[in-house]
């Protein structure tokens, strides 16, 4: 990361704190590692991002419905899904610093260094050796590579490493009063399983016909070995997932369709398309037959924001096996090749899984601008969040020009009408210019000023965040003007 982008990213993080977007959890106790809280503006932005996703996925698709499953699930769920045995990262400790690292990430850092130095052959060779070792789950080989590459601990500077071990990422706790093994429950590491175990409930109660999807937004928990890059890698985070159930044999077609549709959803936010790319998985998860990530170029490089996975019939078959309950769907449609109904089968699944916190950071980083407004006469600048109006935490701010002459009352009268539909803020402190700057900093698209003329002719000035231009409009027109720009139609068309 160059010094300038490093600086910019630091500024975004402090801006997020200063303006009530993101706080470190339990900050008064020095924080809890990789856990964050969303403040008054952050939670509004996050809710708007959820709404955008929910509307695009559920409301815009007749064959997709949404659910809200519990975080706790029967422990056998996680045996069936493979998480008890397989959801782990290879970790290694430095004996001198006592710091713990992910073995694959130490090697990835080395590969990145080779690439930065133009040693592409060495980078490719190490990548291949690491992929082989990960695929074969050959932990001694991973250690060997770390030793061969002479990788030292960034903290102690020594190469005094332990062996590589697998570390399960699931958090567990106990349910009920008696603490024995039978009561161990996990905090879900992904929301997907809540969908799989409910697939027949939804299919039957909703009379859903294949292909159909089930969407869900909710918290997930992973005891990440190392946490870094702010809200990119958290121990408690939120996912927006959709599982799409399809006829076996059609998964490739649906996979390609969802890949395109999800990228389109991102691009509708009007963020520079050059910042997005697809990344194909070479090492597939145990359940997948194809997987792509949508990556976004953060200031620290490209990072996965969303995964699109072809999960085969793995999960439903496993749940059928472990629960003894049939997971089959009866497909009455006639197969033109056999002239018979397709009949009973376990559906295949295409998953789209996006991390809400990574999407939040992507949105914030893209919207943040330190704008130089200097003229020949005077130096000036502002920090502005150019958020899409649909996503802005506050849709409009309303200012009485002064605190007297009935202007506050008039301003509140206008606000009382607008607040029924939109999140509106009222501010009467400080000069108007200062109030504009505060609203720019949280991305409010409109500021409305009520002055003495308003009392005479019911007009107000509306000032636009992006252009900073102002115009005089009838107060009665505000609802229409704001409504047009913050309408979800602008994103969903
Ligand atoms: P990574 O390789 O970065 O650990 P992953 O491949 O494990 O991610 P998935 O299991 O595919 O991630 O989860 C789907 C999405 O959930 C990811 O694209 C990401 O946006 C989000 N996500 C996963 N782990 C975290 C985390 N620890 N903190 C925040 N978001 C996360």
Tens of pLDDT, residues 8-66: 899 999 999 999 999 999 999 999 999 999 999 999 999 999 999 999 999 999 999 99
Q: How far apart are CA 168 and CA 79, in angstroms?
A: 13
Determine if ligand 1 sits within 6 Å of the CB of residue 356: no
Nearest protein Cα to ligand 1, atom 18: 306
- Write the CATH number of the domain with boundaries 3-87+173-364: 3.30.930.10
Question: Could you tell me how many residues make up the chain?
Answer: 493
Tens of pLDDT, residues 348-371: 999 999 999 999 999 999 999 999
User: How many other C-beta atoms can be found within 10 angstroms of the C-beta atom of residue 366?
Assistant: 20
Domain boundaries, the chain: 3-87+173-364, 90-168, 373-492
Determine if ligand 1 sits within 6 Å of the CB of residue 236: no
Measure the CA dihedral 336/337/342/347, to 10°.
Answer: -110
pLDDT over 70 (residue 1):
no
CA distances from residue 189 to 88, 149, 281 in whole angstroms, order as listed: 11, 33, 20
Distance, CA 348 to ligand 1 centroid (Å)? 22
Nearest protein Cα to ligand 1, atom 11: 307
Q: How far apart are CA 154 and CA 151, in angstroms?
A: 9
Tens of pLDDT, residues 376-423: 999 999 999 999 999 999 999 999 999 999 999 999 999 999 999 999
Distance, CA 249 to ligand 1 centroid (Å)? 28
Determine if ligand 1 sits within 6 Å of the CB of residue 87: no
Is 232 annotated for ligand binding? yes
Q: Which residues pair with 344 in a beta bridge?
A: 330
pLDDT of residue 482: 95
Q: What is the mean pLDDT of the chain?
A: 94
Determine if ligand 1 sits within 6 Å of the CB of residue 241: no
pLDDT of residue 180: 62
User: How many other C-beta atoms can be found within 10 angstroms of the C-beta atom of residue 439?
Assistant: 24
Of 55, 44, 22, the closest CA to residue 422 belongs to: 44
Q: How far apart are CA 37 and CA 48, in angstroms?
A: 16
Distance, CA 110 to ligand 1 centroid (Å)? 22
Q: How far apart are CA 412 and CA 416, in angstroms?
A: 6
CA 355 to ligand 1: nearest atom: 20
pLDDT of residue 213: 98
Determine if ligand 1 sits within 6 Å of the CB of residue 306: yes
User: How many other C-beta atoms can be found within 10 angstroms of the C-beta atom of residue 163?
Assistant: 11
Is 324 annotated for ligand binding? no
Tens of pLDDT, residues 189-233: 999 999 999 999 999 999 999 999 999 999 999 999 877 789 999
Distance, CA 225 to ligand 1 centroid (Å)? 13
pLDDT of residue 493: 75
Indicate the DSSP class of residue 271. Answer: -
Is 234 annotated for ligand binding? yes
Do the bridges between strand 459-464 and strand 446-450 make them parallel or antiparallel, or are there none, so unpaired? antiparallel
Determine if ligand 1 sits within 6 Å of the CB of residue 189: no
Pocket test for ligand 1, best of 239, 283, 309, 357 (most atoms within 8 A of CB): 239
Question: How would DSSP label each residue in 314-374?
Answer: HHHHHHHHHH-----EEEEEEETTTTEEEEEEPPEEEEEEEEHHHHHHHHHHHHEEEEE--
Nearest protein Cα to ligand 1, atom 3: 304
Do the bridges between strand 212-221 and strand 64-67 make them parallel or antiparallel, or are there none, so unpaired? parallel
Distance, CA 107 to ligand 1 centroid (Å)? 19
Do the bridges between strand 459-464 and strand 276-280 make them parallel or antiparallel, or are there none, so unpaired? unpaired
**Do 237 and 224 contact (CB within 8 A), yes or no?**
no
Tens of pLDDT, residues 54-98: 999 999 999 999 999 999 999 999 999 999 988 888 999 999 999
Tens of pLDDT, residues 167-196: 999 999 988 876 665 678 999 999 999 999
**Do 240 and 219 contact (CB within 8 A), yes or no?**
no
- Write the CATH number of the domain with boundaries 373-492: 3.40.50.800
Nearest protein Cα to ligand 1, atom 4: 233
Question: How would DSSP label each residue in 383-431?
Answer: EEE---TTT-S-SEEEEESSSSTTHHHHHHHHHHHHTTTS-EEE--SS-
pLDDT of residue 362: 97
pLDDT band at 135; cut points 50, 70, 90: confident
Determine if ligand 1 sits within 6 Å of the CB of residue 234: yes
Determine if ligand 1 sits within 6 Å of the CB of residue 237: yes
Pocket test for ligand 1, best of 358, 359, 360 (most atoms within 8 A of CB): 358
Is 355 annotated for ligand binding? yes
Question: How would DSSP label each residue in 64-88?
Answer: EEEE---SB--THHHHHTTHHHH-E
pLDDT of residue 137: 86
What architecture does CATH give domain 90-168?
Answer: 2-Layer Sandwich (3.30)
Q: How far apart are CA 483 and CA 128, in angstroms?
A: 54
User: pTM above 0.75?
Assistant: yes
Determine if ligand 1 sits within 6 Å of the CB of residue 440: no
Nearest protein Cα to ligand 1, atom 14: 353
50 dihedral zone (left: phi>0; alpha: psi -120 to 50; beta): alpha
Tens of pLDDT, residues 246-297: 999 999 999 999 999 999 999 999 899 999 999 998 777 777 889 999 999 9
Instruction: Please state, for a pLDDT cut of 70, what percent of the chain lies above it.
Output: 99
């Amino acid at each position: 990361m160059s010094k300038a982008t490093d600086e910019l990213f630091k500024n975004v993080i402090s801006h997020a704190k200063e303006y009530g977007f993101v706080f470190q959890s339990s900050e008064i106790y020095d924080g809890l590692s990789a856990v964050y809280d969303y403040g008054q503006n952050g939670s509004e932005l996050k809710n708007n991002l959820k709404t955008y996703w929910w509307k695009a996925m559920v409301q815009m698709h007749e064959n997709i419905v949404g659910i809200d499953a519990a975080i706790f699930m029967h422990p056998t769920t996680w045996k069936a899904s493979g998480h008890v045995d397989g959801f782990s990262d290879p970790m290694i400790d430095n004996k001198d610093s006592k710091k713990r690292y992910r073995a694959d990430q130490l090697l990835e850092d080395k590969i990145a260094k080779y690439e930065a130095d133009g040693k592409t052959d060495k980078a490719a060779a190490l990548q291949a050796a690491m992929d082989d070792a990960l695929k074969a789950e050959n932990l001694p080989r991973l250690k060997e590579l770390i030793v061969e590459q002479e990788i030292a601990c960034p903290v102690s500077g020594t190469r005094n490493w332990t062996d590589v071990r697998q570390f399960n990422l699931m958090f567990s706790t106990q349910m009920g009063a008696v603490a024995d093994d039978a009561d161990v429950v996990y905090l879900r590491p992904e929301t997907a399983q809540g969908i799989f175990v409910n697939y027949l409930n939804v299919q039957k109660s909703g009379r859903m016909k294949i292909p159909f999807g089930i969407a869900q937004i909710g918290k997930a928990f992973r005891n990440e070995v190392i946490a870094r890059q702010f809200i990119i890698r958290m121990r408690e985070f939120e996912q927006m997932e959709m599982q799409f159930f399809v006829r076996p044999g059609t998964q490739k077609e649906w996979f390609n369709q969802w890949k395109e549709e999800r990228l389109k959803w991102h691009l509708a936010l009007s963020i520079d398309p050059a910042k997005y790319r697809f990344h194909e998985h070479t090492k597939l998860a145990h359940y997948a037959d194809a997987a792509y990530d949508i990556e976004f170029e953060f200031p620290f490089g490209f990072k996965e924001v969303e995964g699109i996975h072809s999960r085969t019939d793995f999960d439903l078959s496993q749940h059928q096996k472990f629960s003894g309950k049939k997971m089959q769907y009866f497909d009455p449609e006639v197969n033109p090749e056999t002239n018979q109904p397709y009949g009973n089968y376990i559906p295949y699944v295409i998953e789209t899984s996006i991390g809400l916190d990574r999407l939040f950071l992507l949105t914030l980083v893209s919207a943040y601008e330190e704008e130089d407004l200097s003229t020949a006469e005077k130096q000036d600048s502002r920090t502005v969040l150019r958020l899409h109006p649909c996503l802005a935490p506050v849709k409009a701010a309303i200012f009485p020009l002064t605190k007297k002459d009935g202007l506050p009352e008039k301003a509140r009268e206008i606000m009382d009408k607008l607040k029924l539909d939109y999140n509106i803020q009222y501010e009467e402190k400080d000069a108007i210019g200062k109030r504009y700057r505060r609203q720019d900093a949280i991305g409010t698209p409109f500021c409305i000023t009520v002055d003495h003329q308003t009392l005479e002719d019911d007009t107000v000035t509306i000032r636009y965040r992006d252009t900073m231009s102002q115009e005089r409009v009838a107060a009665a027109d505000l609802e229409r003007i704001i409504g047009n720009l913050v309408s979800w139609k602008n994103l969903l068309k």
